[in-house]
Each structure stands twice: as C-alpha cells, then as structure tokens.
Chains A and B, each alone.
Chain A
C-alpha cells in the first residue's frame, strides 16, 4: 500500500465534481479502508442532496412577488415623488422666486410710503393759479386731469405739486410739476 490514509477533507475533494484534483491517489486504489470511507461520504452526500425541498405554492409565489415589488419602491419610479431631485429643485426655485417677488414688492413700495401721502383732487375747471401759463395750456389738453399734492414725510412743510392726466385716450401719461409755494 502506498502512502498514508486520506483525510475526510481529501476524500470530499475527490468526490467534488468541480474540484481540480481529478486524479485518484494511488493509495485509494489499494486501501479498502479509505475506499469504504469514500463510499460512506458519497452516500451521505447523496442522502443530503436527495432530501426534497417543498415548492412554494402559486398563490404564495404571486403574493411574494407583489409584496416585494411594492416594497422595493421600483414600481413607483415613474410616479411623482418628492424624493425626485428635479422636483425638489423646482420647488426650491419656485419658493425662492415667490419670496424674491414678495421682497421686491415691499422694497419698491417702501420709498413711496416714505415720501408721504399724496392728495389727489379731481379738477373740474382750470385752476386760477395756472391760467395763462404753459401748465394751463397742457392742462387744457389733458384727459381726466387731477391736481396732486404729495407731502414728503421727512419734511412736511415742503410738498410737490403737479397736474397729472393722460392724452391720446390714455396712451400717454403726463405729469406736469408746478413750482413750489
């Protein structure tokens, strides 16, 4: 008999179809003990491999798929989602734009308020003050003329006076400042 007895690991490797060691050691051909152990292991593996695994029923199969597909979130890929980056960017942009416009509105509105309150008086006849002047001539051509006195909040004593109106059926807005008091 050649060599030592083979270990179980070596015998298992010999039984392994995919193993690179296909050559049977010389010892195995002569040793009935190793042959017996190899046959035992082969039988054990056959027993293990032949143990049946139950099938998953068709209802369970379908259920598993449906639940797994839903839970994976893949099925919702094409649906609207707040997680989409483009949605988040669009939402951020819209919010920013709305805030910006609001801010701009207050900024633009603020100076007018700071300039004081305007007193607008609708005129029905040419004021005596401007009769015969250039302002009077302009006034004669205005549609819906108004006399505006705008007081400045920082200096209540000074006020800007003007005659305002439109010409050419509202196409042109005219503001004619009058000299101060």
Chain B
C-alpha cells in the first residue's frame, strides 16, 4: 500500500490505517456490516472490529494464559484466524461469542504447547524450568496476596477447566456456549467450573478462614 493512499488516524486503538475510500466509515455500523466489508478487504472495517473487541480478546487470552507475552501471542493468533476465516462467520449470530471461541481455543493451544515445552525442558534438566511454571504470580504475591493466590490456583488447573471458568465467570458466557466452544457437554462444563472454584477456594483457604473467623 502506498503512503499516498493512506490516512493515519490516532485513536484509542493506537495507529489505525484507514484507506481514503472508506475514511468516512460510520463508527456505529453493526458488526455484520463491518464483517462483510472486512471480508471484501476493507482494512478500516477490520480496524473498527478490532477496536471494538481487542480488549475482550486480550482479556480472555490473559485470563487463560496468565502471562502477558503469551496473551499477546494468543491475541494475535486469534485475530489472524478471525480475519482469515471471517467468511465462515454466520451473519446474524454473535460475533463476540464467535471471537471468544477462537480466543479460548488459541489460548488453550498455546498453554498446552508451553506446558509441553516446559516439561521437556525440565526432563532435560534445564535449571530455570521451575521458575517458568509459576511465572508472574510470584512477583504479584507481594502486591496482592489474594489475586496472586487466585492466579496460582488458576495456573495449576488444566487448560479446559481454566477456560471454562474464565468463560463463565469473567466473560459471563452461558453454559451452552461454553460447552459448544469446548466441544463437551454442559454437565462437563459444570464439573470443570466446580473444580476450578474448588481450586481457587483451597488456594484462598487461609484468607477465607481468617475472614470467616471475624465476627
């Protein structure tokens, strides 16, 4: 793309490139209208979609991976897949839910890859493998013990349990959607969520006991 045909627009998104033809794209257009335009190659429509849901995708990615760098990778992976497969999105259905499903899958995949890599590194006797298993949570312990305990508890969970918990309690997705996203039954999702809550509760046991003892 030549610079002469581009307009660089400063916004909350950062640097958004808008081509002259679609510079006046209505900001309040529906997701479906933007999706159709993005499918035809409109970068500004894609940027609008991105601006709407970038935070949501990053939040899901971070909640599942609990690692900022991994969350960025996951967000990028999610958007690549979303833009590449945008023609598969059924117009009229919920775009954020569709996006969330992609984000959850990407996050679970990245998390599993990282855990696999870590276990190989540990098998090979690399010195720092123990530090990677509990990454940012230890640093955060001093800042906020409760949040760090929650993060540690979530880190210890299998990817599916963590994803189910995140989708239900952070993104407020219905059980049916979570089950579809994870490819399992609603009953299984309930079990995943219950196990996650149990893990968080036992991580917070000390705090909980102290709190309950207070009158």
Bin chain B's interface residue count: 35 or more
Provide the residues of chain A in CB contact with B68, threshold 8 Å.
54
User: In the complex, A53→B107 CA distance in Å?
Assistant: 15
B13 touches A61 (CB 8 A): yes
From B110-118, B127-135, B145-153, give the one contacting chain A.
B145-153
A73 touches B84 (CB 8 A): yes
Q: Of A45, A50, A77, which one neighbours B197 at CB under 8 angstroms?
A: A45
B79 touches A65 (CB 8 A): yes
B54 touches A64 (CB 8 A): yes
The answer to whether residues A9 and B190 also contact, given A74-B41, A74-B84 and a CB cut-off of 8 A, is yes
Q: Nearest chain-B residue to A40 (Cβ)?
A: B208
A52 touches B12 (CB 8 A): no
* Chief secondary structure at chain B's binding surface: helix
The answer to whether residues A53 and B63 also contact, given A8-B197, A67-B76 and a CB cut-off of 8 A, is yes
B212 touches A40 (CB 8 A): yes
B72 touches A56 (CB 8 A): yes
Least CB distance from A165 to B in Å reads: 62
Q: Nearest chain-A residue to B208 (Cβ)?
A: A40
B83 touches A72 (CB 8 A): yes
**CB of B90 within 8 Å of the partner chain:** no
From B26-34, B42-50, B92-100, give the one contacting chain A.
B42-50
Interface string of A36-74 (1 = CB under 8 A from B): 100011011101111111111011111011111101111
A56 touches B55 (CB 8 A): yes
Least CB distance from B82 to A in Å reads: 8
A12 touches B194 (CB 8 A): yes
A47 touches B150 (CB 8 A): yes
Least CB distance from A125 to B in Å reads: 72
B208 touches A68 (CB 8 A): no
Least CB distance from A108 to B in Å reads: 47
Provide the residues of chain A in CB contact with B200, threshold 8 Å.
44, 47-48
Least CB distance from A121 to B in Å reads: 65
A50 touches B147 (CB 8 A): yes
**CB of A100 within 8 Å of the partner chain:** no
Provide the residues of chain A in CB contact with B169, threshold 8 Å.
45, 48-49
**CB of B198 within 8 Å of the partner chain:** yes
A64 touches B76 (CB 8 A): yes
User: In the complex, A64→B74 CA distance in Å?
Assistant: 10
**CB of B40 within 8 Å of the partner chain:** yes
**CB of B75 within 8 Å of the partner chain:** yes
Contact residues, B125-167 vs A (CB, 8 A): 146-147, 150-151, 154, 165
Provide the residues of chain A in CB contact with B165, threshold 8 Å.
48
In the A-B complex, list the 10 residue pairs whose CB atoms are closest, starting with the nearest: A62-B14, A77-B41, A72-B83, A68-B79, A58-B14, A72-B84, A51-B147, A62-B15, A56-B58, A68-B80
A residues adjacent to B (C-beta < 8 A): 8-9, 12, 18, 36, 40-41, 43-45, 47-56, 58-62, 64-69, 71-78
11 pairs, CB–CB < 8 Å, chain A vs chain B: A8-B198, A40-B208, A43-B211, A47-B146, A47-B200, A48-B200, A51-B147, A53-B62, A65-B47, A67-B80, A68-B76
